Amino acid sequence: MNKFIGFITEKGGVSKTMSSVNFAHILAVSGYRVLFIDLDAQMNATDMLMMGTEYECPCYTELLCRRVKDADSLYTEFIYESNFELIDCIPGSPILKDIIYDIHSESQKGFSVFTCLRQNIGLVRDDYDYVMIDTNPGDTTLTRCAICACDGVLSPIKADNFSFSGVTGLLQTIIGLKQSCNVSVEFMGMFFADVNVSSSGYKRVKEWYEENYGEYILPVSIRHSVQVSDSTLRYLPLLVACRRHGTTDDYIRLVRSLGLIDDAHDKRLERYLLPRRAKSGQVPSEAPADNAAGQGGSHG
Ligand SMILES: Nc1ncnc2c1ncn2[C@@H]1O[C@H](COP(=O)(O)OP(=O)(O)O)[C@@H](O)[C@H]1O
Ligand SMILES: [Mg+2]
């Protein structure tokens, strides 16, 4: 079972942050303890999980280029409670923009920086069921540190031709790092995100991907929906912003399809999903799932 999961693509704007935040929240609602690491200087995930909470941007040079002393130091200096039960967070920081210079200068000293994050986070491995890592776009030294810290990598892709080059590059980078850093990291697959599943463009692109990357295409695609941008305006994961909605349901099915939720935790998730009944009668407290972007039913 992959416990440290990174959302990584070379392309930006493909739903890495949206997916990592919602994966983390679905797992937490299912009863798993989750640590979220925001490795993006834009800090969108931190905003989603920690809006209104007091925290200091951590010194990422320590986390990425030096050995943290022990788990206590990690908790004191880096890890904060998020706004959501069972999710702790290492917030992002604007210094991540320039962190590659620190990483490069440390690597000149012969220090093995690529595996440093992995070792540091490993100090709290037993305290969490899952660690979700959101990353910056591009193939940078920082994303390479993130890949080395992961047991598994997931890649959201858009239904366009531009996503393609990003994925082939990532697969090569993973193979290279497995060899050069002797880490065991699995490419768990790619999934379409933010797509209009009834459009001919999506169907064509998906077919092409399935022909060329069959084994790597995950069986659930995430539908485009305006509720997603609304949820970011409210800094809420989809299960809170719109619990019974097509796109929310897509994320739940995707998490389940990866086998990340065992039966006992799935029961807890099911209980959370039960429509809440108004005191007087049978009326659900939220509107039934509208089919996002007008595309209902199962797909994938
Ligand atoms: N399923 C979706 N439906 C509608 N908008 C989406 C969906 N997924 C992502 N978005 C929007 O697309 C933009 C990019 O998503 P984001 O998760 O920030 O990408 P990344 O982290 O890869 O740069 C954001 O504005 C987000 O709100
Ligand atoms: Mg992002």
- At 110 the pLDDT is 67
Is the distance from the beta carbon of residue 229 to the nearest atom of ligand 1 less than 6 Å?
Answer: yes
Is the distance from the beta carbon of residue 228 to the nearest atom of ligand 1 less than 6 Å?
Answer: yes
Distance 8 CA to ligand 1 centre (A): 14
Distances (CA, A) of 133 to 240, 244, 247, 262: 21, 26, 21, 21
Domain over 4-294 is classified CATH 3.40.50.300: yes
Is the distance from the beta carbon of residue 196 to the nearest atom of ligand 1 less than 6 Å?
Answer: no
- At 277 the pLDDT is 58
> 61-119 pLDDT, tens per residue?
999 999 999 999 999 999 999 999 999 999 999 999 998 888 888 877 766 788 999 99
**Atom of ligand 1 at shortest distance to CA of 12?**
23
Let me know if 107 is exposed, middle or buried by CB neighbors in 10 A (0-12, 13-18, 19+).
Answer: middle
* Domain segments of the chain as ranges: 4-294
Tell me the whole-structure pTM to 2 decimals: 0.92
**Atom of ligand 1 at shortest distance to CA of 232?**
27
DSSP secondary structure, the chain, as one string: ---EEEE--SSSSSSHHHHHHHHHHHHHHTT--EEEEEE-TT-HHHHHHHTT-------HHHHHHS----HHHHHHHT-EE-SSTTEEEE---GGGGGHHHHHHHHHHTT--GGGHHHHHHGGGGGG-SEEEEEE-SSS-HHHHHHHHH-SEEEEEE-SSSHHHHHHHHHHHHHHHHHHHH----EEEEEEE-SB-TTSHHHHHHHHHHHHHHGGGB-S--PBP-HHHHHHHHTT--HHHH-SSSHHHHHHHHHHHHTT-S-HHHHHHHHHHHSPPBPTTSS-BSSPPPP-GGG--S---
Test site for ligand 1: of 38, 167, 194, 251, most ligand atoms within 8 A of the Cβ: 194
Is the distance from the beta carbon of residue 238 to the nearest atom of ligand 1 less than 6 Å?
Answer: no
Residue 279 has pLDDT above 80, yes or no: no
Residue 276 has pLDDT above 90, yes or no: no
**Atom of ligand 1 at shortest distance to CA of 9?**
22
More confident residue, 296 or 86: 86
Dihedral, 218, 221, 227, 229 alpha carbons, nearest 10: 70
Average pLDDT over residues 268-275: 93
- At 101 the pLDDT is 87
Is the distance from the beta carbon of residue 232 to the nearest atom of ligand 1 less than 6 Å?
Answer: yes
Residue 294 has pLDDT above 70, yes or no: no
Residue 159 has pLDDT above 60, yes or no: yes
Give the lowest-confidence range in 82-91, 122-131, 155-164: 155-164
Residue 289 has pLDDT above 50, yes or no: no
Q: What is the mean pLDDT of the chain?
A: 89
Give the lowest-confidence range in 18-32, 89-103, 252-266: 89-103
More confident residue, 100 or 26: 26
> 206-231 pLDDT, tens per residue?
999 999 888 899 999 999 999 999 99
Give phi and psi for 11, each to the nearest 5. -90, 150
- At 153 the pLDDT is 97
> 173-211 pLDDT, tens per residue?
999 999 999 999 999 999 999 999 999 999 999 999 999
